[in-house]
Amino acid sequence: MWPMLARQTSAEFLKLWRVPAFSGTSLLLPVVFYGFIGVGQANESMGPPSFVKFGAYFLASMAVYAVANVMIFSFGISVATERGMKMDLLMRATPLPPFVYLLSRCITALGFAALTLAVLFPFAYIAGGVRLDPSQWFSLGYRVLLGSIPFIALGFAIGYLSGPNSAIAVINLVYLPTAFASGLFFPKQLLPQIIQQISPYLPLYRFGQLGWDAIGAPTSDSVTTDWIYLIGYGVGFFAIAIWAYRREESRKFS
């Protein structure tokens, strides 16, 4: 099984890597946003009680944005495209166990997510002058990777529920506004009142809280609460993904 998993994972990685529309945007977009929004005011203090600098705060925001972006796009769009091209048909007839295939995609997505952080962190350090304790860098990195797992399921669900041509539209329609409403681009306090009331219930907001807490910014709930929310969303997303997958199975392979 291991050689199979290794091969499949490297193939999945190459498939994504060689599509500049994916690899380019995944790696560069968070850096570009950071350059436009974060760098100019990196040294501004966010005020009491923590006096965290905006550069660090926005790094956490963009780390969350970048990683969730990879999960949703890499799964959502590639699953939808591959379904459209009937790639699942030939794979189904091979001895490749479906869980190995799924696992390889999860590993690839996590690897890609780690890669985006490997680009974003040094950029924030150099261009934004962000200085964190080693433990804070570490905490931000692992929380953001671990917290991205529910979004794998979300991407997977979108990939199975939307068509190959509509997946990109669906994702942009869902993802970008949610990212704004969750305070990833502007701190929540700057958002309209009504959105501020919705945002605590958004998965990306909970994910963002984990990031902001990691760099020492104050958050509205405890980290445990945020994790519980995320686990809840994760369970829900996985349930939808499995349902969508089974629906597809019973249509195509029964």
Partner 1 sequence: MAAELVDATKKYGQVEALRGVSLTIQLGEVVAMLGPNGAGKTTSISLLLGLRKTTSGSARLFGLEPTDIAARSRVGVMLQESGIPQMLKVREIVDLFRSYYPAPMQRDRAIAMAGLEEKAGALVKELSGGQRQRLYFALAVCGDPQVLFLDEPTVGMDVEGRRAFIARIAEFAKLGRTVVLTTHYLEEADQLAQRVVVIDRGVIIADASPVEIKGKVAGKRIRFTASGITQSTLDGLPVTATTVEGNAVQLLTNDPVTVLRALFQRGLEISDLEVTGADLEDAFISLTSHQKN
Binding site for partner 1 (CB under 8 A): 3-4, 6-8, 11, 14-15, 18-19, 82, 85-87, 89-90, 92-97, 253-254
Distance from C-alpha of 206 to C-alpha of 226, rounded to nearest angstrom: 5
- What tokens does 21 get? 């529309």
**C-beta of 112: minimal distance to partner 1 in Å?**
14
Closest approach of partner 1 to the CB of residue 97, in Å: 6
- The nearest distance, CB 108 to partner 1, in angstroms, is 12
Provide the minimum distance between the beta carbon of 125 and partner 1 in the complex, in angstroms, as a whole number. 32
**Is the Cβ of residue 22 or residue 175 nearer to partner 1 in the bound state?**
22
Nearer to partner 1 among residue 91 and residue 118 (C-beta): 91
Q: At closest approach, how far in Å is the CB of 78 from partner 1?
A: 9
Q: Which is nearer to partner 1, 86 or 131 (CB)?
A: 86
- Assigned token pair, 140: 């931000």
Q: Is 166 left (phi over 0), alpha (psi -120 to 50) or beta?
A: alpha
What is the C-alpha separation between 180 and 185, in angstroms, rounded? 6
Q: How far apart are CA 230 and CA 151, in angstroms?
A: 9
Rounded to whole angstroms, the Cα distance separating 209 from 43 reads 21
Q: What letters, b where the CB count within 10 A reaches 16 and e where it falls short, cover 147-178?
A: bbbbbbbbbbbbbbbbebeebbebbeeebeeb
Say if CB 140 and CB 60 are below 8 A apart: yes
Name the residue nearer to partner 1 (CB basis): 131 or 252.
252
Residue 219 has which token pair? 């958050």
CB nearer partner 1, residue 39 or residue 80 = 80
Query: Residue 145 carries which side chain, given as an amino acid letter?
Result: L
The residue (of 4 and 174) whose beta carbon lies closer to partner 1 is 4
Shortest distance (Å) from residue 102 CB to partner 1: 15
